[in-house]
Structure 1
């Protein structure tokens, strides 16, 4: 009889969703979900048949219209449409396409917060930043996500740069997000695709382990917690950017940025330095999709995260 006094007992993960194409020009997730759908069709069996009915995997192409046109979005960013306000509003003729699609996805995968909602949602993304395989969650008390992240970290070299998870505010989300890069939007690179494919398989393996009754030990894992975003320098009148990421910072995601280090290089050649009061870790450096959002890079603190032991509740 195993003693489980200090172990978090969590429900079985019966319903898992893997989503690609939330942004229609981030092609690794699009092609991976298409490939998984093809494999599933060839098998002519649902994933739960292999696990005694313990787990079903729903494969979703999130933004089909944007995918068809190889655009990030049609009307508005789908990945910002999962707020409570967006999901409960009335659907009118003038309602943006992605807002209507978010409500369809909420009905398919949720409704959000309901007893029938998916137990785990993995949303696949690409980034033009040099971030390797990185994992983003929206709570530092989600033991399932954190243990999955540590499992991937131990098995995937692409996580070396990310070093764990990036804990962000829950202003938008599916359940957790895996951005992989660098990859230009609108193209697919085989090495990035393969890294994402391996990450998804390791995630599904972990769920199988958990559902089978494996006890996962506690311990520590490094995480990066977002502190702030920095915009490009801009002209006061035109609002056009006046500088680019400095060459010494470009592609150095998750490398410590210290006060006084080069941050931007103006188009006239001047170096602008980081004036923050503490060393922080930059990521999403020069992400192309963030120009419209006024984000040149994100800055995070790195900290050790104490993991709790977890175990599946008995059925």
Structure 2
């Protein structure tokens, strides 16, 4: 991709935690920043902390009635409110009104949404699509300034699907997914990495606001293309577990015929896909209710145009 991408300064920035109430790095940091937001202040803006799902956070569960991070679909945000609808549906509309509305000129410029996973994802930067140039520049800035974190970029939106996550309310949104970390547990190393990721990203936004320009680049990304379910017995029970040779191998290539599952009677069940893929979110605890063993991704290189304040202004 050639050319130059340009945009206005970014002043409305939010950092959200507790979108899933048992992912404790974001919960802990946002609670801290609600008391003292000094770390979120920069010369050109101060980011707003938000505890996204207070009910789930209080109970230390992923969600209270419905997964909040799947409630930002067009149908839900535009539907008529009713008294008996799930708490998270009401909460999604509240967040959309306060930080959006999605697609409007009044929407927040950037939302950083903080998550943990039980999978061995390391430091993962989640963006909806590769053509989101601001998000891609922010991710590249993080990769450049935190090479020891080895951050991977994951594009969650499959072709033809719609946006559904909290960060999609703003004009630009990035999810930080760090793991492995058990649900309901704070790991100090993950907390420190999360705090550093937020710091570096806010620095990036501040540099842009101060006139820094960012050159074009090429970068590897992992595009979601599907998922694999656990094998089930005739009575609907899980009949095999993730194979030990696949466990913790997020972002490593999986070939057709490689072991994928180990049955409860010790039989190896191979991966039966037609092409090599990169599994991610392997054995994620929160996906058991969906019967998802791991997500499938393809690795590809994308070109991102320069980000410059000197060319004609365009919107995101």
Task: Please indicate, yes or no, whether the TM-score normalized by the shorter chain is above 0.5.
Answer: yes
Shift of residue 193 of structure 1? 0.7
Distance 1:192 1:158, change over 3 A: farther
Q: What is the correspondence of 1:87-98 to structure 2 with a 5 Å cutoff? A: 87-98=77-88
Q: What is the correspondence of 1:68-107 to structure 2 with a 5 Å cutoff? A: 68-107=58-97
Indicate the residue corresponding to 2:46 in structure 1: 56
- Equivalent of residue 217 in structure 1, options 215, 219, 225: 215
CA contact (8 A) 1:245 1:265 kept: yes
What SS class does the counterpart of residue 6 from structure 2 fall into? strand
Q: What is the correspondence of 1:6-155 to structure 2 with a 5 Å cutoff? A: 6-40=3-37, 47=41, 50-51=42-43, 54-155=44-145
Q: How many residues were matched structurally? A: 302
Distance, in Å, in 2 between the alignment partners of 1:158 and 1:23 is 27
Distance, in Å, in 1 between the alignment partners of 2:163 and 2:231 is 26
Instruction: State the TM-score, normalized to the length of structure 1.
Output: 0.91
Residue by residue, what CA displacement relative to the aligned partner does 1:58-108 show, whole Å, maximum 9, x if unpaired?
A: 110000011000011111000110011111212222110000000111111
CA contact (8 A) 2:14 2:112 kept: yes
Distance 1:23 1:167, change over 3 A: closer
Residue by residue, what CA displacement relative to the aligned partner does 1:137-178 show, whole Å, maximum 9, x if unpaired?
A: 112111110011111112334642x53333424431223211
CA contact (8 A) 2:123 2:152 kept: no
Residue by residue, what CA displacement relative to the aligned partner does 1:16-36 show, whole Å, maximum 9, x if unpaired?
A: 111000010111000111222
Distance, in Å, in 1 between the alignment partners of 2:3 and 2:24 is 43
Distance 1:172 1:218, change over 3 A: same
- Equivalent of residue 201 in structure 2, options 200, 203, 208: 203
Q: CA RMSD in A?
A: 1.8
Shift of residue 134 of structure 1? 0.3
Distance, in Å, in 1 between the alignment partners of 2:300 and 2:190 is 27
CA contact (8 A) 1:134 1:159 kept: no
- Equivalent of residue 270 in structure 2, options 268, 273, 276: 273
- Which consecutive residues of structure 1, in runs of 5 or more, have no partner in the other structure? none
Distance 1:281 1:46, change over 3 A: closer
Instruction: State the TM-score, normalized to the length of structure 2.
Output: 0.91
CA contact (8 A) 1:253 1:282 kept: yes
Distance, in Å, in 2 between the alignment partners of 1:148 and 1:214 is 13
What SS class does the counterpart of residue 125 from structure 1 fall into? strand
CA contact (8 A) 1:70 1:186 kept: yes
- Equivalent of residue 163 in structure 1, options 152, 168, 176: 152
Distance 1:313 1:185, change over 3 A: farther
Shift of residue 37 of structure 1? 2.4
What SS class does the counterpart of residue 290 from structure 2 fall into? coil
- Which consecutive residues of structure 2, in runs of 5 or more, have no partner in the other structure? 168-172
Distance, in Å, in 2 between the alignment partners of 1:180 and 1:155 is 17
Bigger mean CA offset, 173-182 vs 60-69? 173-182
What SS class does the counterpart of residue 300 from structure 1 fall into? strand
Residue by residue, what CA displacement relative to the aligned partner does 1:265-303 show, whole Å, maximum 9, x if unpaired?
A: 001100001111111101000000001112110111111
Distance, in Å, in 2 between the alignment partners of 1:83 and 1:292 is 20
Higher RCO structure, 1 or 2 (CA under 8 Å, sep 6+): 2
